[in-house]
Amino acid sequence: MTEKQIKRSDVPVELTWNVNDIFTDDQAFQQGVLNLNNFSKQLSEHKDTVVNSAKELLDTTKLLVESEELLGKVYGYAARVNDSDTGDARGNELYNTAMLSVNDWEAAISFYEPSITILSEEQLKNFIASEPDLKQFEFNLNRIQAQKSHTLTPELEELLAKLQPAIDDAAEISTKLDDTDLKFGTYTNDDGQEVELTKERVFDLQTNEDQKVREAVSRKMDEAYHGVRNTFAATLRNHVHSQNILAGIRHFDSARQMNMSENDVPESVYDSLIEANHKHLDLLHRYYELRKKVLGLNHMYDYDRHVSLVKGTKLKFTFDEAKAIAKKALKPLGSDYLAHLDDEFDHRWIDAAENEGKRSGGYEDDVYGVHPYILLNWSDTYSSTSTLVHESGHALQSVYTDLAQPSWYSQYPIFIAEIASTLNESLLNDYMLKQYADDPKVSAYLLTQILGDFVGTVYRQTAFAEFEHFIYTADAEGKTLTPDLMADKFNGLFEQYNGPAVEAPDWDRDTWAYIPHFYYDYYVYQYATSKAIAVSLANDILNQKPGALDRYKEFLAAGASDYPINIVKKAGIDVTKTDYLDQAFDVFEDNLNQLEQKLNEL
């Protein structure tokens, strides 16, 4: 008999998130949709008058931010229900209803930013001076004006807003294929039982000490993706091409420039990250050579990257045990931080269990005025414990931001979104190493996890970023993004990054196809920069550097009240320089030295 994923209806309620904190039921949600649609109609009435006077601009802006807060609740409720089981008809209906309303709202407010860019800087200053209540929106208004040369006429902005659902379709189709329709088959476990494979189970089994098991499940997953490679290539090609077209329409030189300019991040930060990784590839090659030697493998493959170097040592924690560990590991962040963490754990902010049709992976999404929500697909592994701590970092940044900022400054920029999460990982790693300091076996296991996390967050995400820039550039040059072109580039990059110790398997691989972040538009590089920033900030907090914790709390509370580079600079890191990257690689090298020492003690 085959062991299958449990159905959503069988998941214990305490392991599910409470969407009724947003709306009490579907009827209340439908009323929220009606209210949002009414806001859209009201906003449309301001289309031709928004900048006629300071008072009109204030009234329109207040209406916009009030409606946007409601929009967050409408989307948040529907998305949580849908992500719980992407194959469920109710969730799909709620989500489609929400998105129709969201798209109408976006079309309704499309006049707002173009209208502000019509004002001169002097006119905007005079508006703010004559209507003091506009002061609270000043940074946003100035940020909009800074994009004046890339903002279209109100008519064209409205047209693009109406086209947005079609532009987003590629990502949606890819998600449905990946999370709902794609199947990986089964495998036979140690008890002789047939078990249905999922992404999370494959990743878990890639830590199995038997290379044949790792090979078998990895082959099945790769074959599944290879079997639908043309569909994945079509969706990604469509998305990339759409972004390149949008960049041209908005008078940007490239899609990368368009996406990075939104947060005022210089493109040099992207290029410096790739250069720094290439500069330090010798450390990654050394790490993989060590893995191959310790594991005693004649041939080592990508699916061997996660197995413990110490046989018989595999830390496993239940969800409840992991929550207790998280509270101890994050203690350096103070009692106020732990109190917020208790709220998260005790009041069903988390959807933990993996179930049939549930969206894969993990994420955090904040609903302003309610609380953050966290999606997990739990397995009793150290990796899941780390993911819990990671997503809690996002959630607590949302909590601190929401307490300190109004709704219009609550959505902290993507560039800094991964700092709080990866800093939490650093604190977890430090705590766990101290707990097992006298046990070289477990210490070696943990160091393997820490090094693997760095590889996955810095080296691997940078390789993703290099691939992402390649496909955008290739499309802009008129090349067709075929599955072969993308596979050759992606696999070639990983041969370069992994070095000679890691060989390619004897089957076709389309690993590029299962990276959903390629639909997030130049997002992945920020994982690497955030990790490097977080390592530095965590070290300052752990070493009790004067003012470090207070500066970090100010960082958590800053939200979108300033450009991200300025927010990070106030916390002590200048990302326009490369010092923080070199420091991060120094930490990696130090951990690698420690691992070699612990292995020698065995």
> Coil, helix or strand for 186?
strand
- Active-site pick, 391, 425, 466, 468: 391
Stretch 563-588: mean pLDDT: 92
Find residue 366's DSSP bridge partners: 372
Percent of the chain with pLDDT over 70: 100
Q: What's the pLDDT tens digit per position in 53-100? A: 999 999 999 999 999 999 999 999 999 999 999 999 999 999 999 999
> Is residue 533, in this structure, part of any structural domain at all?
no
Find residue 371's DSSP bridge partners: 367
Q: Which residue has the higher pLDDT, 335 or 1?
A: 335
- Domain CATH number, residue 83: 1.20.140.70
Domain that holds residue 83: 2-151
Please, which residues have CB within 8 angstroms of residue 453's CB and are 6 or more apart in sequence? Answer: 386, 425, 429
Amino acid at 556: L
In a 13 Å sphere around the CA of 316, the CA atoms on its Cβ side amount to 8
Q: Which residue has the higher pLDDT, 2 or 471?
A: 471
> Coil, helix or strand for 66?
helix
Q: What's the pLDDT tens digit per position in 24-50? A: 999 999 999 999 999 999 999 999 999
What is the structure's pLDDT at 203? 87
Token pair 């098991």 is found at 213
**Distance between CA atoms of 247 and 239, rounded to whole angstroms?**
12
What is the chain's mean pLDDT, rounded? 94
Longest pairwise C-alpha distance within the chain: 77
Report CA 517 to chain centroid distance, whole Å: 7
Instruction: Report which DSSP code applies to 503.
Output: E
In a 13 Å sphere around the CA of 602, the CA atoms on its Cβ side amount to 18
Instruction: Report which DSSP code applies to 504.
Output: P
Residue 313 has pLDDT above 80, yes or no: no
- Residue 357 near residue 385 (C-beta atoms within 8 A): no
What is the structure's pLDDT at 327? 98
> Is residue 67, in this structure, part of any structural domain at all?
yes
Token pair 């420690």 is found at 594
CB atoms within 10 A of CB 35: 15
> Is residue 307, in this structure, part of any structural domain at all?
no
Stretch 281-309: mean pLDDT: 94
Residue 19 has pLDDT above 50, yes or no: yes
Q: What's the pLDDT tens digit per position in 234-279? A: 999 999 999 999 999 999 999 999 999 988 899 999 999 999 999 9
> Is residue 105, in this structure, part of any structural domain at all?
yes
Lowest mean pLDDT among 94-98, 184-188, 327-331, 472-476: 184-188
- Residue 400 near residue 556 (C-beta atoms within 8 A): yes
**Distance between CA atoms of 240 and 254, rounded to whole angstroms?**
11
> Is residue 549, in this structure, part of any structural domain at all?
no
Token readout for 564 is 């991200």
Alpha helices in 45-110 (DSSP H): 54-84, 89-108
**Distance between CA atoms of 61 and 4, rounded to whole angstroms?**
51
Find residue 374's DSSP bridge partners: 350, 364
What is the structure's pLDDT at 3? 61
Residue 2 has pLDDT above 60, yes or no: no
What is the structure's pLDDT at 1? 42
Token pair 């949302």 is found at 398
Q: What's the pLDDT tens digit per position in 484-534? A: 999 999 999 999 999 999 999 999 999 999 899 999 999 999 999 999 999
Burial, 520: exposed, middle or buried (Cβ in 10 Å; 0-12, 13-18, 19+)?
middle
Question: What is the band of 204 on the pLDDT scale with cuts at 50, 70, 90?
Answer: confident
CA dihedral 288, 214, 185, 87 (to 10 degrees): -50
What is the structure's pLDDT at 126? 97
Token pair 């449905």 is found at 176
Instruction: Report which DSSP code applies to 315.
Output: -
Q: Give catalytic status of residue 275 as yes or no.
A: no
**Distance between CA atoms of 567 and 554, rounded to whole angstroms?**
9
**Distance between CA atoms of 268 and 579, rounded to whole angstroms?**
14
The angle subtended at Cα 354 by Cα 456 and Cα 12, nearest 5°, is 140
Q: What share of the chain is helix, strand, coil (3-state, %, to 5)?
A: 70, 5, 25
Find residue 350's DSSP bridge partners: 374
Question: What is the band of 306 on the pLDDT scale with cuts at 50, 70, 90?
Answer: confident
Cα Rg of the chain, angstroms: 24
Q: Residues 553-578, buried b or exposed e (16+ Cβ, 10 A)? A: bebbbbbbbbbbbebbeebbbebeeb
DSSP string covering 204-232, please? HHTT-S-HHHHHHHHHHHHHHHHHTHHHH
What is the structure's pLDDT at 209? 87
- Residue 560 near residue 423 (C-beta atoms within 8 A): no
> Is residue 145, in this structure, part of any structural domain at all?
yes
Phi, psi of 364, deg, nearest 5: -125, 140
First to last CA, the chain: 41
**Distance between CA atoms of 596 and 598, rounded to whole angstroms?**
6
CB atoms within 10 A of CB 2: 9
Task: Give strand ranges (E) for 163-273.
Answer: 186-188, 194-196
Stretch 110-118: mean pLDDT: 93
> Is residue 486, in this structure, part of any structural domain at all?
no
Token pair 């005025």 is found at 369
> Is residue 218, in this structure, part of any structural domain at all?
no
**Distance between CA atoms of 236 and 471, rounded to whole angstroms?**
9
> Coil, helix or strand for 365?
strand
CB atoms within 10 A of CB 204: 17
| Total domains present in the chain | 1
**Distance between CA atoms of 353 and 345, rounded to whole angstroms?**
14
> Coil, helix or strand for 18?
coil
What is the structure's pLDDT at 108? 95
**Distance between CA atoms of 372 and 376, rounded to whole angstroms?**
13
